[in-house]
Structure 1
Amino acid sequence: MIGQRIKRLREERGYSITELASLAEVSKSYLSYIERNLQNNPSLQFLTKVAVPLETTLEFLLEDTAKEEDKLDEEWKQLIQNGIEEGMSKEDFQAFKDFIRFKKWKNNEQDN
């Protein structure tokens, strides 16, 4: 998917693989592997370099590439929705996450 997006954007901008590789300062052969899905796990550094001349974002290049099992299931979505409906803000969710992380750290300290 990432390779297809890069190729489509490259062609829309009228760049050859050689031109894009030069503009992004990446290997032409590696770029070709990505576009042909022979290599499908490019680094964020590579994607950042390629995104600039393609005038896009990392988010766009990575969109919908997460594995299905990595996405939120319905129970998580409902829990988050309920929290929002009860007035929780993003900051509240972040504070709660930080509290849980602290609580786990403290429990580990007490166990050691």
Structure 2
Amino acid sequence: MTNVLGEKIRRLRKEKGYTLDKLAALSGSSKSYIWELENKDPPRPSAEKVARIAEALGVTSDYLVDNSSVSPDAAVLDEAFYRQYRRLPAGTKDKIRDLVEIWSKEA
């Protein structure tokens, strides 16, 4: 049986150039916990840990635990971006909206 969750975490981690240590630090996990998720079958993650790992990797937790999707589609990436955007300070959001307005005029 394939550990789809572990394969996704490993692939996304490597695509971002993260070591086990780096992803562990970004997600508030331990290096050994990330290793176990990537290598044990079946992994036994908590929902909170999956959410933190997904955030660090720029995807949604739904994508990580979905055995049917192989790579994140635009909707998954947009949702992850929007979740991150919602936590930004108001001034940063204003700057992003200004940039989008400039870019949309160029299109």
TM-score by length of 2: 0.57
For 1:56, what is the secondary structure of its paired residue?
Answer: coil
Contact 1:33-1:39 at 8 Å conserved across structures: no
Match of 2:13 among 10, 13, 29: 10
Match of 1:45 among 43, 48, 51: 48
* In 1: Cα distance, 2:21 partner to 2:9 partner: 13
* In 1: Cα distance, 2:35 partner to 2:66 partner: 20
Paired residue total: 65
Q: State the structure with more CA Rg.
A: 1
TM-score by length of 1: 0.54
Say what the alpha-carbon RMSD is for the aligned residues: 1.4
Unaligned runs of 5+ in 1: 66-112
Q: Output aligned runs, 1:99-110, within 5 Å.
A: none
- Structure 1 segments (4+ residues) deviating >2 Å: none
Q: Percent identity?
A: 34
